[in-house]
A and B are shown apart, each in its own frame.
Chain A
Amino acid sequence: ETGVTQTPRHLVMGMTNKKSLKCEQHLGHNAMYWYKQSAKKPLELMFVYNFKEQTENNSVPSRFSPECPNSSHLFLHLHTLQPEDSALYLCASSPTDRGGSPLHFGNGTRLTVT
Protein backbone atom coordinates (compact mmCIF):
# COMPACT_ATOMS: atom_id res chain seq x y z
CA GLU A 1 0.00 0.00 0.00
CA THR A 2 1.72 3.14 -1.18
CA GLY A 3 -0.72 5.70 0.21
CA VAL A 4 -1.12 7.10 -3.29
CA THR A 5 -3.45 5.16 -5.58
CA GLN A 6 -3.57 5.57 -9.33
CA THR A 7 -6.17 4.16 -11.71
CA PRO A 8 -6.17 2.64 -14.19
CA ARG A 9 -2.83 0.80 -14.07
CA HIS A 10 -2.81 0.32 -17.83
CA LEU A 11 -4.55 2.28 -20.57
CA VAL A 12 -4.54 1.85 -24.32
CA MET A 13 -6.17 4.60 -26.32
CA GLY A 14 -6.42 5.77 -29.88
CA MET A 15 -5.36 9.22 -30.91
CA THR A 16 -8.96 10.43 -31.12
CA ASN A 17 -10.10 9.10 -27.75
CA LYS A 18 -10.71 11.01 -24.55
CA LYS A 19 -9.73 9.38 -21.29
CA SER A 20 -8.83 10.39 -17.74
CA LEU A 21 -6.24 9.25 -15.24
CA LYS A 22 -7.11 9.36 -11.57
CA CYS A 23 -4.95 9.79 -8.49
CA GLU A 24 -6.02 9.64 -4.86
CA GLN A 25 -4.05 10.13 -1.67
CA HIS A 26 -5.03 9.93 1.98
CA LEU A 27 -1.75 11.03 3.50
CA GLY A 28 -2.98 14.48 4.46
CA HIS A 29 -0.71 16.12 1.90
CA ASN A 30 -1.68 19.34 0.20
CA ALA A 31 0.62 19.25 -2.81
CA MET A 32 0.03 16.85 -5.70
CA TYR A 33 2.11 16.31 -8.82
CA TRP A 34 1.95 14.69 -12.24
CA TYR A 35 5.19 13.33 -13.68
CA LYS A 36 5.84 11.69 -17.04
CA GLN A 37 8.38 8.87 -17.23
CA SER A 38 9.51 7.85 -20.70
CA ALA A 39 12.09 5.25 -21.59
CA LYS A 40 15.65 6.60 -21.60
CA LYS A 41 14.54 10.09 -20.48
CA PRO A 42 14.68 11.81 -17.08
CA LEU A 43 11.50 12.18 -15.08
CA GLU A 44 9.53 15.15 -16.37
CA LEU A 45 7.45 17.26 -13.99
CA MET A 46 4.20 18.16 -15.73
CA PHE A 47 1.94 19.87 -13.20
CA VAL A 48 1.88 20.77 -9.51
CA TYR A 49 -1.15 21.61 -7.41
CA ASN A 50 -0.86 23.20 -3.99
CA PHE A 51 -4.07 23.38 -1.96
CA LYS A 52 -6.03 22.74 -5.19
CA GLU A 53 -4.36 25.65 -6.97
CA GLN A 54 -2.12 24.95 -9.94
CA THR A 55 1.31 26.31 -9.14
CA GLU A 56 3.38 24.74 -11.91
CA ASN A 57 2.78 23.93 -15.55
CA ASN A 58 5.96 22.94 -17.29
CA SER A 59 4.97 23.89 -20.84
CA VAL A 60 2.77 20.84 -21.17
CA PRO A 61 0.71 20.60 -24.39
CA SER A 62 -2.95 21.47 -24.01
CA ARG A 63 -3.97 17.91 -24.92
CA PHE A 64 -3.13 17.20 -21.27
CA SER A 65 -5.57 18.89 -18.90
CA PRO A 66 -5.20 18.51 -15.13
CA GLU A 67 -7.94 18.88 -12.57
CA CYS A 68 -7.67 18.99 -8.78
CA PRO A 69 -11.12 19.14 -7.16
CA ASN A 70 -9.73 18.77 -3.62
CA SER A 71 -6.44 18.09 -1.87
CA SER A 72 -6.93 14.32 -2.03
CA HIS A 73 -7.77 13.85 -5.70
CA LEU A 74 -5.99 14.69 -8.91
CA PHE A 75 -7.01 13.93 -12.48
CA LEU A 76 -5.26 14.12 -15.82
CA HIS A 77 -7.66 14.43 -18.73
CA LEU A 78 -6.31 13.25 -22.05
CA HIS A 79 -7.54 14.01 -25.56
CA THR A 80 -6.16 13.74 -29.10
CA LEU A 81 -2.88 12.32 -27.86
CA GLN A 82 0.09 11.44 -30.02
CA PRO A 83 2.06 8.17 -30.05
CA GLU A 84 5.00 9.96 -28.39
CA ASP A 85 2.77 10.54 -25.37
CA SER A 86 3.02 6.83 -24.58
CA ALA A 87 4.73 6.65 -21.20
CA LEU A 88 4.30 5.88 -17.53
CA TYR A 89 2.39 8.69 -15.80
CA LEU A 90 3.18 9.01 -12.13
CA CYS A 91 1.22 10.89 -9.50
CA ALA A 92 2.90 12.03 -6.30
CA SER A 93 2.04 13.98 -3.19
CA SER A 94 3.96 15.78 -0.47
CA PRO A 95 3.48 18.02 2.55
CA THR A 96 3.55 21.75 1.97
CA ASP A 97 4.50 23.03 5.37
CA ARG A 98 8.24 22.39 5.21
CA GLY A 99 10.97 22.06 2.66
CA GLY A 100 13.09 18.98 2.22
CA SER A 101 10.26 16.43 2.42
CA PRO A 102 10.16 13.39 0.14
CA LEU A 103 7.55 12.76 -2.50
CA HIS A 104 5.16 9.84 -2.17
CA PHE A 105 4.44 8.20 -5.52
CA GLY A 106 1.67 6.02 -6.84
CA ASN A 107 2.40 2.99 -9.01
CA GLY A 108 1.61 4.88 -12.17
CA THR A 109 -0.57 4.45 -15.23
CA ARG A 110 1.12 2.83 -18.20
CA LEU A 111 -0.34 4.67 -21.22
CA THR A 112 -0.08 3.40 -24.77
CA VAL A 113 -1.34 5.62 -27.58
CA THR A 114 -2.05 3.76 -30.81
Chain B
Amino acid sequence: GDSVTQMEGPVTLSEEACLTINCTYTATGYPSLFWYVQYPGEGLQLLLKATKADDKGSNKGFEATYRKETTSFHLEKGSVQVSDSAVYFCALTENRYSGGYQKVTFGTGTKLQVIP
Protein backbone atom coordinates (compact mmCIF):
# COMPACT_ATOMS: atom_id res chain seq x y z
CA GLY B 1 0.00 0.00 0.00
CA ASP B 2 0.89 3.67 -0.09
CA SER B 3 3.06 5.15 2.63
CA VAL B 4 4.61 8.46 3.63
CA THR B 5 7.73 8.82 5.75
CA GLN B 6 8.78 12.14 7.19
CA MET B 7 11.54 13.10 9.53
CA GLU B 8 11.02 12.77 13.23
CA GLY B 9 10.72 15.92 15.25
CA PRO B 10 10.74 18.09 17.07
CA VAL B 11 12.81 20.49 15.02
CA THR B 12 13.97 23.59 16.86
CA LEU B 13 15.32 26.53 14.89
CA SER B 14 16.21 30.12 15.57
CA GLU B 15 14.27 32.81 13.78
CA GLU B 16 15.56 33.45 10.22
CA ALA B 17 17.18 30.01 9.99
CA CYS B 18 16.64 27.78 6.95
CA LEU B 19 14.19 24.93 7.21
CA THR B 20 14.07 21.56 5.49
CA ILE B 21 11.64 18.83 6.51
CA ASN B 22 12.22 15.62 4.60
CA CYS B 23 9.38 13.57 3.17
CA THR B 24 9.55 10.44 1.04
CA TYR B 25 6.72 8.32 -0.24
CA THR B 26 5.81 5.03 -1.82
CA ALA B 27 2.76 4.78 -4.04
CA THR B 28 1.44 2.32 -6.58
CA GLY B 29 0.15 4.98 -8.96
CA TYR B 30 0.81 8.64 -9.64
CA PRO B 31 -0.21 10.53 -6.55
CA SER B 32 -0.75 14.15 -5.72
CA LEU B 33 1.46 15.32 -2.87
CA PHE B 34 0.58 17.74 -0.10
CA TRP B 35 1.96 19.53 2.89
CA TYR B 36 -0.54 20.36 5.60
CA VAL B 37 0.17 22.55 8.62
CA GLN B 38 -1.48 22.38 12.03
CA TYR B 39 -1.10 25.41 14.28
CA PRO B 40 -1.67 24.96 18.03
CA GLY B 41 -5.32 24.45 18.86
CA GLU B 42 -6.40 24.19 15.24
CA GLY B 43 -7.11 21.59 12.59
CA LEU B 44 -4.94 20.80 9.61
CA GLN B 45 -4.89 23.24 6.73
CA LEU B 46 -3.42 22.85 3.29
CA LEU B 47 -0.05 24.58 2.97
CA LEU B 48 0.88 23.58 -0.58
CA LYS B 49 0.41 20.85 -3.15
CA ALA B 50 1.87 19.39 -6.31
CA THR B 51 0.01 17.12 -8.67
CA LYS B 52 2.70 15.73 -11.00
CA ALA B 53 6.40 15.15 -11.28
CA ASP B 54 8.62 18.27 -11.25
CA ASP B 55 5.77 20.49 -10.08
CA LYS B 56 6.74 22.95 -7.36
CA GLY B 57 4.18 23.92 -4.76
CA SER B 58 4.66 27.16 -2.88
CA ASN B 59 2.84 29.23 -0.28
CA LYS B 60 3.77 31.66 2.52
CA GLY B 61 7.47 31.34 1.63
CA PHE B 62 7.40 27.54 1.81
CA GLU B 63 8.27 25.41 -1.20
CA ALA B 64 8.34 21.73 -2.09
CA THR B 65 9.18 20.03 -5.39
CA TYR B 66 7.65 16.74 -6.53
CA ARG B 67 10.66 14.50 -7.28
CA LYS B 68 9.54 11.30 -8.89
CA GLU B 69 13.07 9.90 -9.31
CA THR B 70 13.74 10.10 -5.58
CA THR B 71 10.06 9.78 -4.50
CA SER B 72 10.47 12.83 -2.33
CA PHE B 73 8.62 16.03 -1.51
CA HIS B 74 10.82 17.92 0.95
CA LEU B 75 9.47 21.10 2.53
CA GLU B 76 11.78 24.12 2.54
CA LYS B 77 11.74 27.69 3.72
CA GLY B 78 14.62 30.10 3.53
CA SER B 79 13.91 32.10 6.68
CA VAL B 80 11.52 30.85 9.35
CA GLN B 81 9.54 33.02 11.74
CA VAL B 82 8.20 32.37 15.21
CA SER B 83 4.73 32.26 13.67
CA ASP B 84 5.78 29.19 11.64
CA SER B 85 5.84 27.11 14.81
CA ALA B 86 3.42 24.28 14.10
CA VAL B 87 3.19 20.62 13.15
CA TYR B 88 3.75 19.85 9.47
CA PHE B 89 2.25 16.80 7.77
CA CYS B 90 3.29 15.36 4.44
CA ALA B 91 0.51 13.47 2.63
CA LEU B 92 -0.43 11.88 -0.65
CA THR B 93 -3.59 10.94 -2.43
CA GLU B 94 -4.04 8.98 -5.60
CA ASN B 95 -5.04 10.99 -8.64
CA ARG B 96 -7.22 8.31 -10.06
CA TYR B 97 -10.86 8.46 -9.06
CA SER B 98 -11.19 6.29 -5.98
CA GLY B 99 -14.88 5.75 -5.59
CA GLY B 100 -16.00 9.12 -4.44
CA TYR B 101 -13.59 10.18 -1.73
CA GLN B 102 -9.95 11.02 -1.24
CA LYS B 103 -7.88 8.16 0.15
CA VAL B 104 -5.21 10.17 1.91
CA THR B 105 -2.04 8.73 3.37
CA PHE B 106 -0.50 10.99 6.00
CA GLY B 107 2.96 11.08 7.48
CA THR B 108 3.29 11.15 11.25
CA GLY B 109 3.92 14.90 11.41
CA THR B 110 6.98 16.97 12.29
CA LYS B 111 6.76 19.54 15.03
CA LEU B 112 8.63 22.76 14.31
CA GLN B 113 9.49 25.20 17.06
CA VAL B 114 11.03 28.53 16.10
CA ILE B 115 12.63 30.52 18.89
CA PRO B 116 13.25 34.28 18.77
**A residues whose Cβ falls under 8 Å from a Cβ of B:** 2, 4, 6, 30-31, 33, 42-43, 45, 48, 50-51, 55-56, 90, 92, 94, 96, 98-108
Check: B69 CB closer than 8 A to any chain A CB. no
| Residue contact A50 to B42, C-beta cutoff 8 Å | no
Q: Which of B34, B94, B97 contacts A102 (CB 8 A)?
A: B34
Nearest residue, chain B, Cβ from A104:
B46
Q: Please, which residue of chain B has its CB at the minimum distance from the CB of A50?
A: B100
**C-alpha spacing A106/B43, complex, angstroms:** 6
**CB-based A-B contact count at 8 angstroms:** 73
- Ranked nearest first, the 3 interchain pairs of A and B with the lowest CB-CB distance are A100-B32, A105-B43, A50-B100
Is B41's CB under 8 angstroms from A107's CB? yes
Q: Say yes or no: A94 contacts B102, CB within 8 Å.
A: yes
Q: Which residues of B contact A50 (CB under 8 A)?
A: 99-101
Query: Is B70 in contact with chain A by the CB < 8 A criterion?
Result: no
The reply to whether B108 and A90 form a contact with Cβ atoms under 8 Å apart is: no
Q: Which of B23-82 contact A (CB under 8 A)?
A: 31-32, 34, 36, 41-46, 49, 51
Residue from A98, A105, A107 in contact with B97 in the complex, judged by beta carbons closer than 8 Å:
A98
Partner of B43, one of A30, A90, A99: A90
Q: What's the Cα separation between A49 and B63 when bound, in Å?
A: 32
B88 at the binding interface (Cβ < 8 Å): no
Q: A42-B108, A43-B106 are in contact. Are A96 and B44 (CB under 8 A)?
A: no
